[in-house]
Amino acid sequence: MKTVILTGGMGSGKSAVARYLESRGVPVYDSDARTKSLYDRDPSLIPAIERELGTPLRDAGGRLDRKKFASLIFSDLTAKARVESLVYPAVLADFRRWKRWHRPAGWAYGPVPFVVLESAVILSHPLFDGLGDKVVLVDAPEEIRLSRCLSRDGSTPEEALRRIRSQSFDLTRVDAVLDNGGPLAAIPERSDEIFLNLFTIFAN
């Protein structure tokens, strides 16, 4: 089984592409959702983060206090990097376990010979280098990405634009760009064009 990295910045429509691929039978690893669930599934992770940061992070029920955790790491880039050094190896191990459980699923054209790993940050972390056989970047013009972000998360235009511009992608590591600057209804056609090509490459 091959691995296709699906990446893209805020408002690019990356998650919508991932949902479409799932609807077609392609196994998709949602790194954001799986990382959040790791805090509940991996009993060693929260204690390790607490030791690293030197502060308790659990609520009265013993689960991660997500609000406190977010406010801590997003206000301190050093703390964020220290947490990532603990969390990302756990995510990598989780992905590898997840992938072992997946076999080629059925698409209209035959068994899908790859899984998709959806992540916005994977290309910026050396730990994940070499994990993907191909990389697909979902992209859209800045003004469209900004409009999408403002319609869903309630942030100010200044905040959203700052977060969008903080993300960058090394295009030399990208094998295909999925232009998602049009209506979301066009995602199936644009996705099929790229992923059916990958289907053909990997199936041969």
Give the confidence band of 115 by pLDDT, cuts at 50, 70, 90: very high
Residue 99 corresponds to which amino acid? Answer: K
Domains, the chain, with CATH or none = 1-27+102-204 (3.40.50.300), 37-101 (no CATH)
Residue 152 is predicted with a pLDDT of 77
3-state secondary structure (DSSP) of residue 111: strand
Give pLDDT tens digits for 65-111: 888 888 888 778 888 889 999 999 999 999 999 998 876 666 666 67
Compute the distance between CA of residue 163 and CA of residue 83 in angstroms, rounded to an integer.
20
Structure tokens that stand for 175 in this block = 């094998």
- Do 52 and 82 touch, CB atoms closer than 8 A? yes
pLDDT at 108: 60
Instruction: Identify the band that residue 167 occupies on the pLDDT scale cut at 50, 70 and 90.
Output: confident
List strand residue ranges (DSSP E) for 12-64, in order: 28-30
Supply angle C-alpha 196, 202, 203, rounded to 5: 85
149-165 pLDDT tens trace: 787 776 778 877 777 77
Average pLDDT of the residues in 117-142: 91
DSSP 8-state secondary structure symbol assigned to residue 10: T
Res 109: pLDDT: 61
CA 127 to CA 125: how far, in whole Å?
Answer: 5
Rounded-to-10 torsion of CA 94, 127, 87, 1: -10
CA-CA distances (angstroms) from residue 21 to 15, 28, 83, 121, 132?
Answer: 10, 8, 31, 20, 17
Q: What is the DSSP pairing of strand 110-111 with strand 106-107?
A: antiparallel
Model pLDDT, residue 89: 94
Please tell me the predicted confidence (pLDDT) of residue 97: 93
Is pLDDT of 4 > 90? yes
Q: State the Cα–Cα distance between residues 94 and 53, nearest whole angstrom.
A: 23
**Which parts of the chain are beta strand (E)?**
2-8, 28-30, 106-107, 110-111, 114-118, 134-139, 176-179
Q: Which helix (H) or strand (E) holds 92?
A: helix 77-100
CA-CA distance, 89 to 98, in Å (whole number)?
14
38-72 pLDDT, tens digit per residue, is 988 888 999 999 999 888 998 888 888 888 888 88
Computed over every residue of the chain, the mean pLDDT equals 86
pLDDT attached to residue 94: 95
Question: How remote is the C-alpha of 61 from its chain's centroid?
Answer: 29
Buried b (16+ CB within 10 A) or exposed e, 41-62: ebeebbeebeeebeeebeeeee
